[in-house]
Structure formats: C-alpha cells, structure tokens
Amino acid sequence: MEKITVIVPCYNEEAALHYYYKEMSRVMDEMNDVDFELLFVNDGSKDKTLEIIFAIFLIITIIAFLSVTQVDLFIKMYIPIAILLFFIIVLTVEYIKKKKFYNAVKESLIELDEKYLIAETIENPSFLDGKLLKNILIETDKSMIEHVNKYKYLQEEYKEYIELWIHEIKTPIAAGKLIVQNNKNEVTKSIDEELDKIEYYVEQALYYARSNTVEKDYCITKCNLQDIVNTVIKKNKDDLINNKIKINIEDINENVYTDSKWIIFILNQIITNCIKYSKTENAEININVEIKKARVILDIKDNGIGIRKGEITKVFEKGFTGSNGRKEGKKSTGIGLYLCRKLCGKLGIGIELNSEENIGTDVKLVFPKNDYNLIE
C-alpha cells in the first residue's frame, strides 16, 4: 500500500490543531487505499500545542491498536472519545485557572495607585506562562523602584542645593539693604525696592523647594492671628505706605493651631497680591475674623482691580498669571497662589477666593478650631 508522510510544523497552534486534525481525518478516511503518516513538529510553542499533539498521537495510536484487535465496536469508539474528553476537561480547567489569575492581575492593576507594585499583590501562579509573567513584572518593578529612588535622590539633592543657595544669597541681600539704610537718597530708595523684590522671590523659591516635604518642616503650635497679621503688615509696611493703602483690622485676637512660619508666608503672598493689584486711589485692605461652628475664618478683602470672572477658577493653577499678571508693572510668576493652596492643603487649612473685576478680591483662610498635634 502506498504511504504518504505529512509533516506538520507547529508553533503556538493550540487553537487550530483541533480543526486541522478533524479535516485531515476526513481526508484520510476518503483515501482509505493510502497509508498516512502524520509527523507533528513542535517549534518551541509556548501554549498547549505540545499537549494537543500528544493527545492526537495517543488517539491515533489507540485507534490503530483497536483496529487490529478483536474488540467490540462500541469500545473502539468509546475509548478515543473518552481520551479526547479527558484532554478537553484538562484544558478547560487550565483555562479557568489562567482566566482567574489574569482577572486578579487586571483587578489589582485597576485598584493600585502605584502600578509598578503590582507584582507584590498577585499570587504565585502554578502554570508556566503565569510564572514567567510574574518574574517579568518583578524585574520591571525592581527596575522602576531603582529609577524612582534615583529620581528621589536627585530631587532631594537639588532641593538641598537650592536651600543652601538661598541661605547664601540672603547674606549679600542683607548687606545691600544695610548699605542702602546708611546711604538714603532717591537712588538707594529705588535699589531698596528692587532688593525687596529679590528677597520676596528668593523666599518664594525657598518655600517652593520645601513645599513637597512640608510634613518634615512644620511644628503645630498655638498661634495668635493678631500676631501673625501684625508680622506680615510690618513686613510690607514700606509698600503699603508708598501705595497709600489703608489697612482696616477688626478684632482678630483669635488663636488657631498651625505652623506660624508657613502661615506667615501664605498670608504674605495674599497681602503682596493685594498691594500689587490695588487701585491708585482710596485703596483699602480689610482684615477680620469670623467664627463658624468649629472653624476660624481669617478674611482678607481688598478693593483692588479684581479678577475677571472667567479667570477665577484658574488662579490657583501653577504658572497662571491671568490678564492682570501680564500688565506692565504688575509682572506675575503665577506661583504665589499656587503655593498658598498647596501649603494650605498640607497644613489642613482651607483657602477660598472670590473676586469681581473693578470691585476687589476676597480671600478666606479657614482654620479648624481644635488642638490636635499641639506643642506648647
């Protein structure tokens, strides 16, 4: 009898082998005068191709064996079907196991904020490709953590450099202001104003550098709002006098629990904006305190040029200067109010801003009225 050898190269053919064998069986049955030999060559498949080839080989072998033995026809049909069902059950169980594992991976990925830690949350799989995936994730996570730590180190190093530079630059600024005070005239007056601007921006840079690590640099104590406001007003007295701005302070003798250093910086940013965007005549800044339930609200209101309605929602965004901040003589960095909101968030203080163009701006600092983390 003529013999035909069919060589079948297979690479990840798990889904196709069943259909191939079905069609090939039909062809072999039609050509019963020819002896067929099927050679399946597995080219390093990573799916269940090898197991399926083995199943096909086993079925063909059993059928060939049963065909030459005196066995009941029912048994000849039943045994191959039983073997086939067995492999189908095995593959189904394997599929369910994999589906459960990959669903767990997907859910973990959705729930995790830090996605690179996913390898730490998934269980060890029992199948080869699952183990391979987890090993890849572990190596990826390790590499990511190394890069994150490197970035943190560089960021901390840069922050330390900025802080050192700022402390160093304060010395010549202080020396310059001392020279100006000892040589007062119109020229040195202008120089003093510019030195004040430099000092303001240097301080802003320092607090910006520290804004991501506020928790390492704050100390919650009992602070009097009257003292804090007086400190800020005194700090800006020259600008307030030069711009002829009237300060109206009501009874603000209230105590809150916060870090005085950071609050002075925040309030200074707000007062500086009040001065920068004040009117040329009859300019006023009104400061008062309001008690509402468990909150102490420090209200700073001016009658300046105000903010356009469409820009109010953007004033706390980093780098946003608005139409007022781009005007000649009122150049803005867009960092002041951004820092205020960021630092308020770190300190657990609310900040609210309302404004009307050509009417004025109202900023509220909302302190919780309690004594948590109190250090006397």
Q: Going residue by residue through the chain (376 aa), what tens digit of pLDDT does each one get?
A: 678 888 888 777 766 777 777 788 888 888 878 887 877 777 766 666 666 666 666 666 766 666 666 666 666 566 667 767 777 777 787 788 888 888 888 888 888 877 777 777 788 887 777 788 888 888 888 888 888 888 888 888 887 888 788 778 888 888 888 888 888 888 888 888 888 888 888 888 887 777 777 666 678 888 999 999 999 999 888 889 988 999 999 889 999 988 888 899 999 999 999 998 888 888 999 999 999 888 999 999 999 988 888 888 888 888 887 777 656 455 677 788 888 998 898 888 999 999 998 899 999 999 987 655 444 4
Spatial CA neighbour of 279 closest among 306, 299, 300 = 306
Contact between 344 and 351 (Cβ < 8 Å):
yes
Going along the chain from its start, the domains and CATH numbers come out as 2-108 (no CATH), 119-217 (1.10.287), 219-368 (3.30.565.10)
Q: What pLDDT, on a 0 to 100 scale, did the predictor assign at position 325?
A: 64
Q: Alpha-carbon distance 321 to 314, whole Å?
A: 9
What is the value of pTM for the model shown?
0.58
Q: Alpha-carbon distance 352 to 330, whole Å?
A: 23
Spatial CA neighbour of 208 closest among 163, 150, 167 = 163
Q: What pLDDT, on a 0 to 100 scale, did the predictor assign at position 98?
A: 82
Per-residue pLDDT tens digits for 122-151: 888 877 777 888 888 888 888 888 888 888
Q: What pLDDT, on a 0 to 100 scale, did the predictor assign at position 76?
A: 58
Spatial CA neighbour of 51 closest among 27, 81, 8, 87 = 87
- Please list the residues that pair with 257 across neighbouring strands: 222
Q: What pLDDT, on a 0 to 100 scale, did the predictor assign at position 296?
A: 92
